[in-house]
């Protein structure tokens, strides 16, 4: 099991990710119930409809389930064993689902993933599209994905709506990553970025918004 400090951080990530799950499901429930969720409409991500974003959230969550299953067997699993092409093909396959089908698939995927969290021994490693991580890192990565893709869906949830606890944790991680990728001696974010509201700074670091006079963060 993780150390007490790591366990506390893990507990918080699991809690916030579960809250993000329910926040997204509640928003989608309302829209689907009103017949107001157009899954074919463009999302805020280039070339992706809302259906693409929802398909990705389902498939990514199921990929996390596979990582936990592999860890339980003592193996290092891959989130997308068929690589980037397989990931893209699955998203294209599932994007045309109806709004109700997307919502049902997402809900069931969330149930499967949260069941894995409850059963996990939290040991082992996993291979995500970006890098190899410890199993204990997965709930925070899921929190990031659900929170930011909720914004990407363009259904009335904005960067300013991101929970302050998530924003604080994300800034700590992303600012460290940004600094690690800068030339020696450059240890602080650009002044305009530091002056931006925290949620907007997160958006800039994650490539979701621009800050006047500042180049893209280029770290995500």
Task: Say if residue 35 is exposed, middle or buried (CB neighbours under 10 Å; 0-12, 13-18, 19+).
Answer: exposed
In the chain, the number of structural domains is 2
Tell me, yes or no, whether 170 and 72 share the same domain: no
What pLDDT score does 3 carry?
Answer: 77
Tell me, yes or no, whether 23 and 100 share the same domain: yes
User: In terms of DSSP bridges, do strands 132-134 and 125-127 run parallel, antiparallel, or are they unpaired?
Assistant: antiparallel
Tokens of 10: 């893990």
Question: What is the Cα–Cα distance from 65 to 109, expressed in whole angstroms?
Answer: 9
In angstroms, the Cα distances linking 33 to 1, 26, 87 are 42, 10, 30
Domain that holds residue 218: 159-220
**197 band by pLDDT with thresholds 50, 70 and 90:** very high
CATH number of the domain to which 149 belongs: 1.20.120.450
Q: Tell me: the pLDDT tens digits for 161-173?
A: 999 999 999 999 9
Tell me, yes or no, whether 56 and 151 share the same domain: yes
Q: Tell me: the pLDDT tens digits for 112-144?
A: 999 999 999 999 999 999 899 999 999 999 999
């Amino acid at each position: 099991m993780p150390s007490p400090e790591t366990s506390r951080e893990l507990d918080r990530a699991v809690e916030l990710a579960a809250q993000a799950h329910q926040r997204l499901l509640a928003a989608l429930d309302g829209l689907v119930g009103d017949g107001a969720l157009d899954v074919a409409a463009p999302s805020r991500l280039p070339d992706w409809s809302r259906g693409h974003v929802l398909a990705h959230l389902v498939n990514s969550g199921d990929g996390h389930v596979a990582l936990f299953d592999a860890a339980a067997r003592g193996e290092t699993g891959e989130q997308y064993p068929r690589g980037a092409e397989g990931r893209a093909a699955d998203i294209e396959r599932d994007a045309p689902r109806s709004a109700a089908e997307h919502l049902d698939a997402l809900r069931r995927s969330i149930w499967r993933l949260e069941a894995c969290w409850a059963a996990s021994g939290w040991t082992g490693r996993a291979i995500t599209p970006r890098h190899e991580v410890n199993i204990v890192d997965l709930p925070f990565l899921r929190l990031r994905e659900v929170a930011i893709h909720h914004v990407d869906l363009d259904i009335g949830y904005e960067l300013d709506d991101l929970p302050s606890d998530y924003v604080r944790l994300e800034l700590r991680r992303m600012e460290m990553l940004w600094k690690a990728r800068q030339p020696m001696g450059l240890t602080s974010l650009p002044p305009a970025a530091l002056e931006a509201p925290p949620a907007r700074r997160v958006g800039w670091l994650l490539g979701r918004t621009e800050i006047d006079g500042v180049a893209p963060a280029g770290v995500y």
